[in-house]
Structure 1
C-alpha cells in the first residue's frame, strides 16, 4: 500500500522516538515553555554532530519523492488532520504543499514518532517487527 518500505518507516519512527527522548520536554503550565528544557533542546538541535539526529535526517533524506510525500501525509494522518478515509486527499495535499525543508520540518516536529505510528495504525499497517532502530 505504501511506497515507503515498512522496515524503513519503522527505522524512522525508532530514530524519531530516540531523538525526542534525548531531552525531555516539560513545559511550564502557564507559558507552555520550560526555559531549562528549551535551552537543552536548543543546544541539542544546534549540535551538528548529534548521531541520532543525523541518522534520522539521513533516513528521511534517503527517501524518494513519493516516500517523502507519504511520510508527510502519515504525519498529518497521525496528528488527526486527516483520517484513513481521506488518505488519498492527504497524499495529494502532501504532494502539493511539501515544504522545501521537509527534513527540517519533520525532525523539528514534536511527537513525530507518535504521529507516524498513529498514521500507520490508521492504515492498518503493523510496524511491531520493524521499530528497532
Structure 2
C-alpha cells in the first residue's frame, strides 16, 4: 500500500495558497484611477513585488525533502490523469527522473495545480491512502 510522505492537511493548505496565487495576475495598469473603493478589489487580484504568497509557496516546497517533492509531483500527475494511484511508486520514480528544476516553479507554472493536487489527493484517499 502506498504512503504519502507528508500530512494531507499540509497539501490542502498548500492548495489553498496555490489557488490564491494563481488567481492573481500581473499588474496591467500602474494607476488604477476611478473609484477608490473599486481600486482596492483590483489591487487585491494583482500580484506585486511585495506579495509574499509566491515566495512562501516556493520556500515551503523548497523545505521539503526529495521524497516529498517527488510525491508532490506524482500527486499532481495522478490528479491530472497521467497516472493512477496503483502506480504510485512508479510515478514517484518517474517524477524524480523527468522533473528538472524547482518543483515550486513547475507547480506555480500550472494554472490548475491546486485542482490537480486536490484531485490527486482524493484519488489516493479512494485508493486507501490517508
Aligned positions, number: 105
Equivalent in the alignment of 2:119: 118
Deviation of the 1:81 alpha carbon? 0.5
TM-score computed with the length of structure 2 as normaliser:
0.72
Q: Max radius of gyration: which structure?
A: 2
Task: Go from structure 1 to structure 2 and tell me whether the alpha carbon gap of 1:124 and 1:91 turns closer, same or farther (over 3 Å shift).
Answer: same
Deviations 1:16-71 (A, max 9, x none): 01112224xxxxxxxxxxxxxxxxxxx83xx4432211221122111111000000
The Cα shift of 1:91 comes to 1.0
Residue 84 of structure 1 pairs with residue 85 of structure 2: yes
Equivalent residue in structure 1 for 2:11, among 9, 12, 21: 9
Does the CA-based 8 Å contact 2:75-2:121 persist in structure 1?
yes
**SS of the counterpart of 2:125?**
coil
Partners of 1:12 and 1:60 within 8 A in 2 = no
Indicate the residue corresponding to 2:103 in structure 1: 102
Aligned to 1:70: 71
Q: Where do 5+ consecutive residues of structure 1 fail to align?
A: 24-42, 126-133
Q: Which runs of 5+ in 2 are unaligned?
A: 26-45
| TM-score for the superposition, normalised by structure 1 | 0.70
- CA RMSD in angstroms, aligned pairs only: 2.0
Aligned-residue offset at 1:72: 0.5
1: CA distance, partners of 2:68 / 2:49: 25
